[in-house]
Amino acid sequence: MIWRMIILLTLLFLKIKMKKINIYNYELSIDGNIVLNDNVYYYSRIIVSFFKKYNSIHIKKYRLTEIREEQQKFRKYLIENKKHKCIICDKTLPLCLLETAHIKPRFLLKFNEINDINIVELMCRYCHKLYDDGLLSICDGFLQVSNILNKYDLNYNENKFIYSYTLYNKKYFNFHYKYIYRYN
Ligand SMILES: [Zn+2]
């Protein structure tokens, strides 16, 4: 009983602390998004470390379970409704090589975006990693390839049309292109 009280008080304290803390103008909103003071979302190492630092172990565990269930739901949806191929390189692959990819990083989603089925697509491991790192992106439906990838043996067809780009997921691709894509 006492331990439960202590844990609850600690969580409450951390919650209050999270609301007050500001590092380089970033702040953590109540629904878990990290927002710049001017309301422009921004992705960087600072945000990631901030997020990790101020999420207590208890909150992390809870969120991970929650995320796992959500991921399973999205994956089931993709497997049942989409072609089993990577939306970026168009390769048809076994499901063990196709990952459930968030078009906009999960931890930057607004509250009403978290359960939107249009937030995910199937990507192969290679493309998913490069997309998450901002080395590949989609602008107005066309593939963008960072100059950083020029020196590697990757045959990406720049400006190839991505058929999974729709009116419904457009805003998430736009977010990625605007804030995460690294041209060079
Ligand atoms: Zn791929």
Question: Ligand 1 centre from 64 Cα, in Å?
Answer: 26
Nearest to 6 by CA among 79, 56, 54: 56
> What gap in Å lies between CA 84 and CA 21, rounded to an integer?
43
Question: Ligand 1 centre from 83 Cα, in Å?
Answer: 13
What's residue 78's pLDDT? Answer: 95
Dump pLDDT digits (tens) for 9-56.
Answer: 666 665 555 544 444 455 555 555 555 544 344 445 555 556 666 655
Question: Ligand 1 centre from 87 Cα, in Å?
Answer: 7
Question: Ligand 1 centre from 139 Cα, in Å?
Answer: 17
β-sheet bridge partners, residue 161: 142
What's residue 70's pLDDT? Answer: 82
Cβ proximity of 126 and 176 under 8 Å: no
Question: Ligand 1 centre from 101 Cα, in Å?
Answer: 11
What's residue 106's pLDDT? Answer: 84
Dump pLDDT digits (tens) for 63-114.
Answer: 667 777 888 899 999 999 999 999 999 999 999 999 999 999 887 888 888 8
> What gap in Å lies between CA 82 and CA 87, rounded to an integer?
10
Question: Ligand 1 centre from 160 Cα, in Å?
Answer: 13
